[in-house]
Structure 1
Amino acid sequence: MSRVNTVLGPIPTEELGFVAVHEHIGYGMPGCELDTKWWKTPEERYEETVPKLRRFHEYGGGTFVDATGICNGRDVDYYKSLAARTGVHIVACTGFVGGDTALAFFARASVEYLTRQFVHEITVGIGDTGSKAGIIKVGVSRGFRMTDLDKRIYRAAARAAVTTGVPIFTHLAVDSEPAIDIFREEGLSLDRVLFGHADDGVSQGKVRDTEIADQGGRIGFDTFGYDLELPDPPFWGRPRKERLDHLLRFIRGGYLDRVLASADANCSPLGWPGVKGHTVNYLFEELIPDLREAGIDEATITTLFVDNPASFLTIQS
């Protein structure tokens, strides 16, 4: 039986439904929990998060993939309570958003140690939660070039993916050449890797998206909603139409089976104010209507949000 690990246990792939493949329950940089300016009580986090997940479920959302890596506010017991309360399947990840978010203990670790860490969290569980990770997060550190630590993390992730059958998604799709070399050296098919944030504003001109797709990789258009039209847009924002047109060119250029889309929103940001009004529900409230208006049919929308994520997330054992 094909299956995917969620925080409440493995489920058949067919039960995933509509998938938001790159989101955050709450993301923050290491140490943000010590800053009293931004500290939130569990009650405050619930008040921010539960309505967003319930609305997602009401719209028809089935699965929320949390991209918050080790050291960035990952809280699996909290995810379990949210999943039970809202009916949304939540997939937790192992791995790191980037080498520059790994605390010193992990930054000094060997590839072998990191591999064991990832495999344990996928096959045994994360801490004492009893929940198994369903995906591995890796990322390119600030500066748009992979550091030596990034490369160690990518190699460990590749080994863990080959061993366990779970996929990998990346923070940023820049500097993809060394990543692809590492995945190939470790025997990992690029079909098991989602190169994320190919659509964000700061990555443009640095991402070889069609080249990655031509080699078998998957491409994440997963920063929808971070629009420069916002009153206070983030530095990675991009004009709404420009991002949409990028996705449309990719779909119409014959790459539909390589594309996954998401919003990369924070339900309750940790250590920073977040982007006001931006939630996972942008997918239903703005993106899908934009796609329909552009002439994209329902079958293609289903491919983007149901079929492609199911294929990607299924454990390949």
Structure 2
Amino acid sequence: MSRVNTVLGPIPAEELGVVAIHEHIGYGMPGSELDTRWWKSPEERYEETVPKLRQFHEYGGGTFVDATGICNGRDVDYYKSLSAKTGVHIVACTGFVGGDTALPHFARASVDYLTRQFVHEITVGIGTTGARAGVIKVGVSRGGRMTDLDKRIYRAAARAALATGVPILTHLAIDAENAIAIFAEEGLALDRVLFGHADDGVNAEKTRDTWIAEQGGRVGFDTFGYETELEDPPFWARPRQERLDHFLRFIGKHLDKALASADANCSPLGWPGVKGHTVNYIFEDLIPDLRRAGVDEATITRLFVENPATFLSIQN
């Protein structure tokens, strides 16, 4: 039986239910916990997060994949408490959002060191929590091209994925040619990689989403809800209908490669976040939009249940 690592232990992939494949309990840049303007006590973060996860569970959500990497606010003991309290399975990640968020200790590290770090967090546990990571996070640093550090992280992630069987998800799907070349050199099948943020308002036109799918990679449309129609939209916002149309075109050709999420922060660290945007956009807006567009229930189940379960299942 296939299994997935959650913060409360491995579970059968069949028990994941509806999956929010790319979300954050609380994301911030390194050092954000020291910012007095946006600092929050653990109690404040808990009070802000629990209602969102409870609503997600009440809507029918089963699993929340936290894509917050090392150095960006990952707090696995906190995740364990949230999971136990709300009934939502939480999958934690190892890896980094991008090389530009890695603190110097990791930024100077070799591929071998990074590989050992990732493998340990997947097979032994993250810190002293006893919880094992269920996915590896990698990303393209600011600037739009992979840096030398990014490439070391991607290579280490590929080796760790091969050694442990867990998949990789990426921050941004730009510069995919370099990423795919690294994965090919390491012998990693591309169906173990989810190239994320293919739909964001900054990089969508530069992202070769169809090409990635044709190479065998999975593609994440996972910034749903960041809309230009918001009162104060972020710089990566995009018109709601434009994003939806893009997604519909993609799933019309590559449904088996598609996953979707909202990339929301339950309680942002060191920045105000985007008011009103939560993981529950999936249930409150995205799925209704898909139904209005004529997408049938079998396709919705494929997108939010079956594709994520296949992707997250440990392959060893």
TM-score, L = length of structure 2: 1.00
Partner SS for 2:204? coil
1:104-115 matches, cutoff 5 A: 104-115=104-115
Letter in 2 for 1:198: A
Gaps of 5+ in 1: none
1:13-32 matches, cutoff 5 A: 13-32=13-32
RMSD of the TM alignment (CA)?
A: 0.4
Aligned-partner Cα distance in 2 for 1:225–1:127: 33
Aligned-partner Cα distance in 1 for 2:184–2:17: 31
1:103-252 matches, cutoff 5 A: 103-252=103-252
Q: How big is the shift at 1:251?
A: 1.1
Matched with 2:298 is: 299
Q: How big is the shift at 1:73?
A: 0.1
The one-character-per-residue Cα deviations of 1:15-53 (angstroms, maximum 9, x if unpaired) are: 000000000000000000111111101110011000000
Aligned-partner Cα distance in 1 for 2:204–2:309: 28
Partner SS for 2:183? helix
Matched with 2:269 is: 270
Aligned-partner Cα distance in 2 for 1:27–1:241: 27
Q: How big is the shift at 1:204?
A: 2.1
Q: How big is the shift at 1:203?
A: 0.6
The one-character-per-residue Cα deviations of 1:234-285 (angstroms, maximum 9, x if unpaired) are: 0000000000000000111x20000000000000000000000000000000
Gaps of 5+ in 2: none
Aligned-partner Cα distance in 1 for 2:260–2:59: 16
Q: How big is the shift at 1:178?
A: 0.6
Q: Does 1:33 align with 2:27?
A: no
Q: Does 1:288 align with 2:290?
A: no
Partner SS for 2:229? coil
Letter in 1 for 2:136: I
Letter in 1 for 2:277: H
Aligned-partner Cα distance in 1 for 2:78–2:268: 14
Matched with 1:48 is: 48
Letter in 2 for 1:127: G
Q: How big is the shift at 1:137?
A: 0.1
Aligned-partner Cα distance in 2 for 1:270–1:206: 29
Q: How big is the shift at 1:205?
A: 2.0
Aligned-partner Cα distance in 1 for 2:114–2:69: 13
Matched with 2:92 is: 92
The alignment of Structure 1 onto Structure 2 pairs a total of residues equal to 316
Aligned-partner Cα distance in 1 for 2:196–2:170: 5
Letter in 1 for 2:176: S
1:300-315 matches, cutoff 5 A: 300-315=299-314
Q: How big is the shift at 1:191?
A: 0.2
Seq. identity, % = 83
